[in-house]
Chain A
Amino acid sequence: MIRVEGLRKSFGRQAVLRDLDLEVATGSITVIIGRSGGGKSVFLKHLIGLVRPDAGRVLVDGVEITHLTGRALDGIRRRYGVVFQGGALFDSMSCAENVAFPLREKLRIPADEIAKRVEAALAQVGLEGVGAKLPAEISGGMRKRVAIARALVTEPEIVFFDEPTTGLDPVLVNTIHHLILDLHRRFRFTALVVSHEIPEIFEIADTVAMLHEGRIVEVGPPGAIQASANRIVRQFIRGEPDSSEGH
């Protein structure tokens, strides 16, 4: 389980996270929704140890990671898979080399075993035969799928998806969502997805948390969030413009 307690973060005078609390159950798909620029990605970076909070704690299975450094933090990160917003594939490597990279560098397994696992990982995301291509030679949707294959190839316990469908057409958005759901059923990892794809994201979530102005304002199963009486949640789900606030 991931537990976040009283997380606070400011950049200069701008407060991005203000006493944020959240629990992510083991083996569940938890989706963080919220407006662009609302601190979702910054929150995610706290969970993966890329940003340190000004106050508060992040606990992964009871271990506080907020002040961990070096090997201790790496030990936690070895349990992670992360799909970045833009994919973050290494430009100089082919798709297959990208997927093979964490295997080659983190696990001491023979080259033929790595090749088999890379082939299987690419097949799982429906990308057989693109292994030799460079990331620049494939479409945005394919890049996202290669990034998912790379994040899952080491069979992590916890997978973070930072807006995995941003910039994709509706068909690809659904394709990626169903891919996440399918892979989750197969590997039973704990997933934390940051997204603002409404309402598609409700189909894959076990729990949805709404992040607004640095706080979680509502958390619950998708049905409860969709039926929420909270004005901020309703406005976000319905996509009502800002001017409707206060009406």
Chain B
Amino acid sequence: MAERPLAPALRPFEVVGARTFSVVDSLGRFGTFFVDALVAIVTPPFKLRAFIDRINYIGFRSLLIILLTGAFTGMVLGLQVYLTLVRFGSEAFLGPAVALSLIRELGPVLAALMVTGRAGSALTAEIGIMRITEQIDALTVMALNPMRYLVAPSILAGLVTFPLMTALFDVVGIFGGYLVGVELLGLSPGTYFGEMQTFVDMKDIMTGFWKSVSFGVVVTWVCTYKGFNVGHGAEGVARATTQAVVLSSVLILVWDYFMGSILP
């Protein structure tokens, strides 16, 4: 039976209502997708081969971009922070300033953004293509759970690789700061590293660690969800990939603020 059209004055309410339902529905699907993934993570059989493959896919293949961006971030930080500190005669604090910026904030955030751009987009595109070419349906009709084969290993690999990528980013960044501060601008190595040991403690390292762990979950969750729920054809995959990268990047920055507020 055809629905009777609403009076023109009520149509804006209809549009707002439909939009609200759509948003709530999407959030519900997003949440249940994560719950399904968690169930697949904690219940056997565990897909070790798929997990190792995902570590290679998300982590190992992102190494070069992490090393490159980490080094230049550290070098830029070294230069800019030195030029600022030297105005106050505090250039001795260059080491801790670079290290704290990287360990607490820039390392987890920039490493997560870089891995999202390189591996997150590829993850969405790969799963999206599997969806439109019926490979995910093929798994389902074989009575095999696609969440166990595609999503659970990716989220687990995100949990493992994001902290490792962040640690590498931090180390290379600190070395980049050293190159500029010590080798280029003449600060003594003892001052750079000595002050760092004084001011950086385990609490700072754990702040960066928990951030990177949560980013690993958020990025792999968003990217696998977008791939799983891709639209039709090549355009659908392209749109899902763009949405996955944009949403992951925004969530990284928003979540970073909340984590920064909660963690000591």
A contacts, CB < 8 Å to B: 45, 48-50, 74-75, 77-78, 80, 82, 84-86, 88-91, 101-102, 105-106
User: Closest CB of chain B to A43's CB: distance in Å?
Assistant: 15
18 contacts between A and B (CB under 8 A): A45-B137, A74-B143, A78-B143, A82-B138, A82-B141, A84-B137, A86-B133, A86-B134, A88-B138, A89-B135, A90-B130, A91-B129, A91-B130, A91-B135, A102-B144, A105-B144, A106-B142, A106-B143
Task: List the B side residues contacting A86 at CB < 8 Å.
Answer: 133-134
The yes or no answer to B20 lying at the interface (CB within 8 A) is no
- Report the separation of the CA atoms of residues A85 and B134 in the bound assembly, to the nearest whole angstrom: 9
Task: List the A side residues contacting B134 at CB < 8 Å.
Answer: 84-86, 88
The yes or no answer to B22 lying at the interface (CB within 8 A) is no
Name the residue on A nearest B144 (C-beta): A105
Interface residues in B, total, Cβ within 8 A: 12
The yes or no answer to B32 lying at the interface (CB within 8 A) is no
- Report the separation of the CA atoms of residues A90 and B138 in the bound assembly, to the nearest whole angstrom: 9
- Report the separation of the CA atoms of residues A91 and B130 in the bound assembly, to the nearest whole angstrom: 9
User: Closest CB of chain A to B22's CB: distance in Å?
Assistant: 14
User: Closest CB of chain A to B225's CB: distance in Å?
Assistant: 19
Name the residue on A nearest B136 (C-beta): A88
The yes or no answer to B197 lying at the interface (CB within 8 A) is no
Most buried by B among A50, A75, A85, A105: A105
The reply to whether B141 and A77 contact each other, CB–CB distance below 8 Å, is yes
Contact partner, B141, options A80, A89, A101, Cβ 8 Å:
A80
The yes or no answer to B26 lying at the interface (CB within 8 A) is no
Most buried by B among A49, A78, A88: A88
The reply to whether A50 and B137 contact each other, CB–CB distance below 8 Å, is yes
User: Closest CB of chain A to B44's CB: distance in Å?
Assistant: 13
User: Closest CB of chain B to A163's CB: distance in Å?
Assistant: 12
Beta-carbon contacts under 8 Å, B83-142 to A: 129-130, 133-135, 137-138, 140-142
Name the residue on B nearest A50 (C-beta): B137
Interface string of B72-85 (1 = CB under 8 A from A): 00000000000000
List 17 additional contacts besides A50-B137, A86-B134, A90-B138; criterion CB under 8 Å: A49-B141, A50-B140, A75-B143, A77-B141, A82-B141, A84-B134, A84-B137, A85-B134, A88-B135, A89-B135, A90-B130, A91-B135, A102-B142, A102-B144, A105-B142, A105-B144, A106-B143
User: Closest CB of chain A to B48's CB: distance in Å?
Assistant: 13
- Report the separation of the CA atoms of residues A240 and B137 in the bound assembly, to the nearest whole angstrom: 35
User: Closest CB of chain B to A65's CB: distance in Å?
Assistant: 12
Task: List the B side residues contacting A75 at CB < 8 Å.
Answer: 143
The reply to whether A84 and B138 contact each other, CB–CB distance below 8 Å, is yes
- Report the separation of the CA atoms of residues A101 and B140 in the bound assembly, to the nearest whole angstrom: 13
Task: List the A side residues contacting B135 at CB < 8 Å.
Answer: 88-91
Task: List the A side residues contacting B142 at CB < 8 Å.
Answer: 77, 101-102, 105-106
- Report the separation of the CA atoms of residues A75 and B142 in the bound assembly, to the nearest whole angstrom: 10
- Report the separation of the CA atoms of residues A80 and B129 in the bound assembly, to the nearest whole angstrom: 24
Task: List the B side residues contacting A78 at CB < 8 Å.
Answer: 143
Name the residue on B nearest A162 (C-beta): B134
User: Closest CB of chain A to B54's CB: distance in Å?
Assistant: 12
Name the residue on B nearest A150 (C-beta): B138
- Report the separation of the CA atoms of residues A82 and B141 in the bound assembly, to the nearest whole angstrom: 7
The reply to whether A48 and B143 contact each other, CB–CB distance below 8 Å, is no
User: Closest CB of chain B to A103's CB: distance in Å?
Assistant: 10
User: Closest CB of chain A to B233's CB: distance in Å?
Assistant: 12
The reply to whether B141 and A48 contact each other, CB–CB distance below 8 Å, is yes
Task: List the B side residues contacting A48 at CB < 8 Å.
Answer: 141
User: Closest CB of chain B to A189's CB: distance in Å?
Assistant: 15
Task: List the B side residues contacting A85 at CB < 8 Å.
Answer: 134
Task: List the A side residues contacting B138 at CB < 8 Å.
Answer: 82, 84, 88, 90
Task: List the A side residues contacting B140 at CB < 8 Å.
Answer: 50, 77
Task: List the B side residues contacting A74 at CB < 8 Å.
Answer: 143
Name the residue on A nearest B53 (C-beta): A92
- Report the separation of the CA atoms of residues A36 and B79 in the bound assembly, to the nearest whole angstrom: 65
Task: List the A side residues contacting B144 at CB < 8 Å.
Answer: 102, 105-106
User: Closest CB of chain B to A159's CB: distance in Å?
Assistant: 11
User: Closest CB of chain A to B255's CB: distance in Å?
Assistant: 31
Name the residue on B nearest A75 (C-beta): B143
Most buried by B among A45, A75, A85, A90: A90
User: Closest CB of chain B to A19's CB: distance in Å?
Assistant: 17
User: Closest CB of chain A to B126's CB: distance in Å?
Assistant: 9
The 5 closest A-B pairs by CB, nearest first: A74-B143, A88-B134, A88-B138, A77-B143, A84-B134
User: Closest CB of chain B to A28's CB: distance in Å?
Assistant: 21
User: Closest CB of chain B to A115's CB: distance in Å?
Assistant: 17
User: Closest CB of chain A to B53's CB: distance in Å?
Assistant: 9
